[in-house]
Amino acid sequence: MTEKTAQLSKAQAITSEVRRRIVDREWRQGDRIPDEAELAVEFGVARATVNKALQMLAEEGLLDRKRRAGTHVTVNPARKATLTIPIVREQIEGAGLEYSHRVVAQKLSPIPADVALRMSLPEGAELIHLRTVHYGDSQPFQVEDRWINPGAAPGVERIDFHRINANEWLVRNFPWLHADMAFSAENANARDARLLEARQGTALLILQRTTFNDLGAITTVRLAFHPGYQLIATP
């Protein structure tokens, strides 16, 4: 282990202990906790290590740090939640259903303005445009509308996505460094309604995700889930 890894491991042990004190209400919401120098003595570590640990807990939302006022236990502990965003095939198979997918369109097309903005690429640049429906036991589960940038994912022009699911091909070949992700609700447009076999105007949960590597935007995708779908988050 490197020296940096060793410091990190000490800091993580301190975060565990501080988290335990908060959950057990030894330190209550709104309480000011001991300062860095006191904690450094108590845990027998350098003050920088305590600082690192408290910073990690502040990023998690458990502590609230202010230069003059000191460090307090955050009043609202429900500020962070974790979402699992499974591979759609695994999600469908995990529900005990048979997975299938159908590619509705795959062609090189100029990108519209909103896609250009999300991908930081010039409007009209030619990218692979792919529309896919994912099914569980032949019922539409999710509609995927995806653009893939050959500039950041070289070789994509030669792939036939009728054979391999684009999501799985991309993650196998092009790991990303940075991603943007947002959830929203939209009324199903005519195409969503047709592909999801739902009424036009039905409220759909939408996930938009754009991933980047050192060559630029790899892909941007809009996923529209079937009506009534619930995404579970764990706090």
Place of tokens 């196998």: 172
- Single-letter residue type at 7: Q
* 208 membership: H or E segment, kind and range: strand 203-213
Specify the stretch interacting with its own copies by CB under 8 A; choose among 33-41, 102-110, 113-121, 199-207. 199-207
Rounded to whole angstroms, the Cα distance separating 47 from 7 reads 11
Residue 32 per-residue DSSP state: B
Rounded to whole angstroms, the Cα distance separating 166 from 156 reads 10
Query: Which residue among 67, 69, 84, 163 contacts its own copies (CB under 8 A)?
Result: 84
Specify the stretch interacting with its own copies by CB under 8 A; choose among 12-20, 95-103, 141-149, 154-162. 12-20
Nearer to its own copies, 12 or 120 (CB): 12
Rounded to whole angstroms, the Cα distance separating 83 from 60 reads 14
Specify the stretch interacting with its own copies by CB under 8 A; choose among 110-118, 120-128, 141-149, 205-213. 205-213
* Closest distance of CB 124 from its own copies, Å: 25
Phi-psi region of 120 (alpha: psi -120 to 50; beta: other; left: phi over 0): left
User: By CB under 8 A, what part of segment 44-73 binds its own copies?
Assistant: 61
Pairing of strands 63-66, 70-73: antiparallel
User: By CB under 8 A, what part of segment 90-149 binds its own copies?
Assistant: none
Kindly list the residues in this chain that would bind its own copies in the complex (CB under 8 A): 1, 5-6, 8-10, 12-13, 16-17, 25, 29-30, 43, 61, 75-87, 167-168, 171-172, 175-176, 179-187, 201-206, 209, 211, 225, 227-235
